[in-house]
């Protein structure tokens, strides 16, 4: 992990709520950042000093990967404070890449009442590796505009709860599932998701259902334990910032 500085070269709005920032002057150490790894970012001035209204905690930014022009694409909520030419201090990469099963052909992504960005950033990689992808948008996530996504991605919009048309068929089709839920009560929301899966599937195998956890990331280095998760298969907590962000939901204590 390194502390580096980049510059916002371009900003592209991709839907009503979301933009892509294209970052230049990227340190070569970040060229191989993988889906699932994030950056702790804050806007700075040209000399690297935080801006006067800078928040105490760095923001967690989700990169989509490098472009052909040695710039790094990052997906962010639309916010007028981002401007081309701004400098950004980046700490990262944070965490481990998502682990896809080598046998998986069909990947199900579920965003429930949460911004789907931790899921959409993996789409390019999944399609490049010829995996079939279905993205289910539930609750407030169903308002996420998807016109910018590849037509190869099947998008299903459900309702307010954890239900959608043909859900039994979709769950049976999937070889692996990744989900994000509202971070306000993340464990409770993941428990509701796991209970729904247990109701609909006879068996949930290990390494099938992964939750992408997004607790406040204070240090990003494994030093403060602010992001610790209790595990059901070990007395040792796991840290979202160094071991995550994705964990098999069967292994996390969600009570
Ligand atoms: S954020 Fe400090 S240990 Fe994870």
Which is the closest atom of ligand 1 to the Cα of 239?
A: 4
pLDDT value at residue 55 = 67
Rounded CA separation 187/230 (Å) = 10
Cis peptide bond N-terminal to 40, omega within 30: no
Q: Which residue has the tokens 């403060």?
A: 224
Q: State in Å: Cα 228 to ligand 1 middle.
A: 7
Q: Which residues of the chain have pLDDT under 50?
A: none
Token pair listed for 155: 């998008």
Q: State in Å: Cα 227 to ligand 1 middle.
A: 5
pLDDT value at residue 132 = 97
Structural domains in the chain plus CATH codes: 2-93 (2.40.30.10), 106-212 (3.40.50.80)
pLDDT value at residue 4 = 92
CA atoms within 13 A on the CB side of 98: 28
Token pair listed for 191: 């428990």
pLDDT value at residue 54 = 67
Rounded CA separation 42/88 (Å) = 6
Beta carbons of 134 and 170 less than 8 angstroms apart: yes
Beta carbons of 62 and 117 less than 8 angstroms apart: yes
pLDDT value at residue 202 = 67
Residue of 96, 214, 218 to test ligand 1 pocket, by largest number of atoms within 8 Å of CB: 218
Which is the closest atom of ligand 1 to the Cα of 215?
A: 1
Q: State in Å: Cα 199 to ligand 1 middle.
A: 34
Q: Which residues line ligand 1 (CB under 6 A)?
A: 217-220, 222-227, 239, 241
pLDDT value at residue 135 = 98
Which is the closest atom of ligand 1 to the Cα of 220?
A: 1
How many of the other CB atoms lie within 10 Å of CB of 34? Answer: 14
Beta carbons of 183 and 108 less than 8 angstroms apart: no
Rounded CA separation 134/43 (Å) = 34
Percent of the chain scoring above 70 in pLDDT: 98
Token pair listed for 56: 């105490």
Bridge-partner residues for 80, per DSSP?
A: none
Rounded CA separation 145/154 (Å) = 13
Q: State in Å: Cα 226 to ligand 1 middle.
A: 5
* C-alpha closest to that of 93 among 244, 254, 253: 244
For ligand 1, atom 3, the nearest C-alpha belongs to 222
């Amino acid at each position: 992990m390194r502390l580096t500085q980049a510059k916002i070269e371009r900003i592209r709005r991709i839907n009503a709520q979301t933009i892509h920032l294209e970052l230049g002057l990227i340190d070569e150490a970040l060229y191989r950042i993988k889906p699932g790894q994030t950056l702790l970012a804050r806007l700075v001035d040209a000399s690297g000093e935080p801006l006067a209204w800078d928040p105490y905690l760095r923001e967690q930014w989700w990169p989509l990967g490098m472009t052909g022009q040695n710039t790094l694409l990052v997906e962010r909520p639309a916010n007028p404070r981002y401007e081309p030419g701004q400098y950004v201090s980046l700490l990262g990469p944070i965490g481990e890449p998502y682990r896809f099963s080598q046998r998986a052909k069909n990947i199900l992504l579920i965003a429930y009442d949460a911004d789907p960005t931790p899921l959409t950033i993996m789409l390019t990689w999944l399609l490049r590796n010829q995996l079939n992808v279905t993205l289910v948008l539930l609750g407030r996530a169903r308002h996420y505009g998807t016109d910018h996504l590849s037509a190869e991605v099947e998008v299903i919009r459900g309702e307010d709860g954890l239900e959608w048309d043909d859900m039994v068929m979709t769950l049976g089709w999937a070889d692996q599932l990744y989900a994000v839920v509202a971070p306000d009560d993340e464990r409770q929301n993941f428990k509701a998701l796991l209970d729904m899966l247990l109701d609909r599937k006879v068996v949930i195998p290990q390494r099938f259902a992964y939750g992408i956890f997004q607790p406040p990331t204070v240090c990003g280095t494994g030093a403060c334990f602010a992001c610790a998760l209790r595990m059901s298969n070990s007395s040792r907590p796991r840290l979202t910032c160094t071991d995550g962000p994705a964990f098999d939901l069967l292994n996390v204590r969600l009570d």
